[in-house]
Amino acid sequence: MRHFFVLISLLHVAFALQAQTLKGKVYDTSGTVKNIKVLNETQHQVTATDEKGDFSISAQVNDTIFLESLFYHPEVVILKQSHFDTIAIFEIKRIVSELDEVEVKAEPEQPVFEVESYNVELHNLIKEDIKNNPGLYQTAKATNGMDFIAIIGLVAKLLKRKDNYKAPIYNPITYAQLDSLFSKSSIFKKQLVTENLKIPEDKVNLFYDFCAAKQLSSALLKDKKQMQLLEQLVLNSQLFLILLEEYGQESITKE
């Protein structure tokens, strides 16, 4: 009987180790960082940090964790037991932007945005969430196709702010502002939309409508916010392409 209880205890310990949840917080030199992809390569689990830089993911000791984002150097961590004893703190380093260096007197050249690998990873992240949580992307009112506006709201845990954020000072970016931006800006050209963001030529206007529906703050139109605006455009372009691929243009144009 004693051996039986010892065996039960060992099995309980082994199960507890396998069922651990890693709770962490991600910082850079200026504070916590949102929308950082957290990938448990060992267990093929993925999530992202929230507005406060927090995340939680299934993991165990010796798992390999990757922290990745478009504007940060990737960070690789081999988990130790100490990571599970309290909220684990992870620090990532921002990639220094050289955007200001392209501001010349002559006709400015189009900056090279290396977003290919990030696009693929973000595309897979959103598709994985749709696969794991299909019910979140369907509504009872949708009878023929998908309720596109409802879908935009339901991806909040990946791309939107939490409901308790303070109301922005600036109005949301409109379709007209986006159309004007890509018509007149020396950096945000239409070529960026079709070639870098991979939006089909005949879907560009629909993409502008999509971004306007996301109600991005017009503060992003300021010169000092260009990199933040680019990041939001990358995020939304991936979601747009996935929804277009999964549900087709018919369900989009109905809205």
**Residue with token string 């800006």:** 185
Q: What tokens does 214 get?
A: 């996301």
* Residues near 72 by beta carbon (within 8 Å), at least 6 away in sequence: 28, 33, 36, 92, 93, 94, 95
Task: Specify burial of residue 129 (Cβ count, 10 A radius: 0-12, 13-18, 19+).
Answer: buried
204: left (phi over 0), alpha (psi -120 to 50) or beta: alpha
pLDDT score recorded for residue 2: 55
In which band, very low, low, confident or very high, does the pLDDT at 221 lie, cut at 50, 70 and 90?
Answer: confident
Average pLDDT value for the chain: 75
Residue range 20-91 in CATH 2.60.40.1120? yes
In which band, very low, low, confident or very high, does the pLDDT at 18 lie, cut at 50, 70 and 90?
Answer: low
- List pLDDT tens digits, range 94-118: 887 554 454 545 545 544 445 555 5
Q: Give the mean model confidence (pLDDT) for residues 201-220.
A: 86
pLDDT score recorded for residue 91: 92
Helix (H) / strand (E) element for 38: namely: strand 37-40
Spell out the domain ranges in the chain. 20-91, 102-253
User: The pTM is what?
Assistant: 0.40
CA 196 vs CA 127, 204, 249: distances in Å: 20, 13, 21
